[in-house]
Amino acid sequence: MLGKDLLGIKQLTAEEISGILDLAGEMKKVVLSEDKKLDTLKGLSVVTLFYENSTRTRLSFELASKYMSSSSANITASGSSVQKGESLLDTGHTIDRMGTDVIIMRHQCSGAAAFLAKNVKASVINAGDGMNEHPTQALLDALTIKEHKGGFKGLKAAIIGDVLHSRVARSNLYLLQKMGAEVCLAGPATLMPKDIERFGVKTYNNVDKAVEGADVIINLRIQLERQKSALFPTVREYSSVFGLNERRLALAAPDALVMHPGPVNRGVEMNSAVIDCGQSFIDEQVTNGVSVRMAVLDLLTRGKRNAVN
Ligand code: CP
């Protein structure tokens, strides 16, 4: 059982992460079955509140809650009273007062999910807050790694690209280290947080060195929307110096997993030959997103469901 909210991987123990992954493995059987129906969330309501665009996270939470028989509804900032100037606090109170049990929020500000969680009765799930965390992305990445590598201890994981702006990188870094993997980071110096080495990771500006012998390669999306000024000369140069291609992939372990949270900028972070190769698990990450989100919804609502039953 988890607490009231899921705000980040930073707050979870290795045991809690293992518990979520075990349950997600069970949920995957439901996702891959013909019926896709559980009664787990019957009588509970789940609302997604997205201030930033999303395809994978929002849709997989929506499907997860529907597969579990909740009443679900969705709001985006662009189509809501946020456009009339309503604050996050007032929006949160409004959703809360409709009897909502779980609010799943993506927001452009780091810390927004924690702020909302303090101010509403509903459970809050962080679906990505600014440059801080994206916990369910790291959990679905972890499920993919666990399924293909059997565990995490002793694995070498290379996280490559726009680390500075990436909540996925932070959540994955916390998770992989808690589970016993060795993590290194690579990317342009301008896209590497200044104090990142305090997390006990090696950093490289040379991608070849980072991927050498890696068991897992997680490429990150270049987040041009968060860059206030140009942080690398051209996309073409980025691709040539930092992109994952067949030559670089050949430096990794022969059975290395190639991963990306999506959406991929084809030909920038990775070329199409790598995205579509047999070592690429990007599609499987998407499938695992639904299973992981079902597990999180189940675990976060157990206290409430036990109190009712
Ligand atoms: N990985 C991820 O968060 O993708 P979306 O932005 O499509 O949700």
Dist. CA 55 → ligand 1 center (Å): 6
Q: Where are the beta strands (DSSP E) in the chain?
A: 45-50, 71-76, 102-107, 123-129, 156-160, 182-186, 202-204, 216-219, 257-259
Instruction: Please indicate, yes or no, whether residues 144 and 245 belong to a single structural domain of this protein.
Output: yes
14 and 123 belong to one structural domain: yes
Q: Is 225 or 144 the better-scoring residue by pLDDT? A: 144
What separation in Å is there between the alpha carbon of 214 and the centre of ligand 1? 24
| Residue 253: Cβ within 10 Å count | 16
- Which of 49, 51, 56, 219 for mutating ligand 1's site (highest number of atoms within 8 Å of CB)? 56
Asked whether residue 266 falls in the same domain as residue 299, the answer is no
| 152 and 227 together in one domain | yes
Task: State mean pLDDT over 284-302.
Answer: 98
Reference 62, options 54, 51, 74, 53; nearest CA is 74
Q: What is the CATH number of the domain that holds 222?
A: 3.40.50.1370
Query: What is the overall mean pLDDT for the chain?
Result: 95
- pLDDT of 307 reads 67
3 found inside a domain: no
The answer to whether position 102 is within a domain reads yes
108 CA to centre of ligand 1 in angstroms: 13
Ligand 1 atom at minimal distance to the Cα of residue 52: 6
Q: How far apart are CA 74 and CA 47, in angstroms?
A: 5
pLDDT in tens, 176-225: 999 999 999 999 999 999 888 889 999 999 999 999 999 999 999 988 77
Reduced to 3 states, what is the DSSP secondary structure of residue 271?
coil
Segment 262-287 shows an average pLDDT of 96
pLDDT at residue 228, as a whole number: 65
Q: What's the 25 CA to ligand 1 centre distance in angstroms? A: 21
| pLDDT tens string 70-109 | 999 999 999 999 999 999 999 999 999 999 999 999 999 9
pLDDT at 197: 87
Provide the CA 130 distance to its chain's centre, in angstroms. 12
**Do 188 and 126 share a structural domain?**
no
Please choose from 49, 51, 57, 218 the residue to mutate so as to test ligand 1's pocket, defined by most ligand atoms within 8 A of CB: 57
Q: What does the pLDDT read at residue 223?
A: 81
Q: Is the pLDDT of residue 232 over 90?
A: no
Average pLDDT over residues 7-30: 98
Q: How far is the CA of 160 from the centre of ligand 1 (A)?
A: 17
Is the domain of 73 the same as that of 90? yes
In this structure, the answer to whether residues 144 and 179 fall within a common structural domain is yes
Q: Which atom of ligand 1 is nearest to the CA of 60?
A: 8
Average pLDDT over residues 258-286: 96
For ligand 1, residues with CB inside 6 Å are: 54-57, 128, 137, 261-263
Tell me how far the alpha carbon of residue 56 lies from the centroid of ligand 1, in angstroms.
5
Instruction: State which residues form the domain around 249.
Output: 135-282
* Percentage of residues in the chain having pLDDT higher than 90: 90
292 with 276, same domain?
Answer: no
Segment (H or E) for 118: helix 112-119
Do 26 and 92 reside in the same domain of the chain? yes
Structural domain total, the chain: 2
**Residue 205 within any structural domain of the chain:** yes
Closest atom of ligand 1 relative to the 134 alpha carbon: 3
Rounded distance from Cα 261 to ligand 1 centre (Å): 7
CA–centroid distance, 13 to ligand 1, in Å, is 24
Ligand 1 atom 1, closest CA: 261
Domain annotation covers residue 70: yes
Pocket probe mutation, ligand 1, options 48, 49, 51, 55, max atoms within 8 Å of Cβ? 55
Contact at 8 Å (CB) between 220 and 174?
no
- Assess whether 113 and 190 both reside in one domain: no
Say yes or no: 140 and 126 in one domain: no
Mean pLDDT, residues 271-284 taken together: 97
Q: So what's the pLDDT on residue 226? A: 66
The sheet with strand 71-76 has its strands ordered as 71-76, 45-50, 102-107, 123-129
Residue 142 lies in a domain: yes
Q: Is residue 4 part of a domain?
A: no
Q: Whose CA is nearest to atom 3 of ligand 1?
A: 57
If asked whether residues 167 and 239 sit together in one domain, one would say: yes
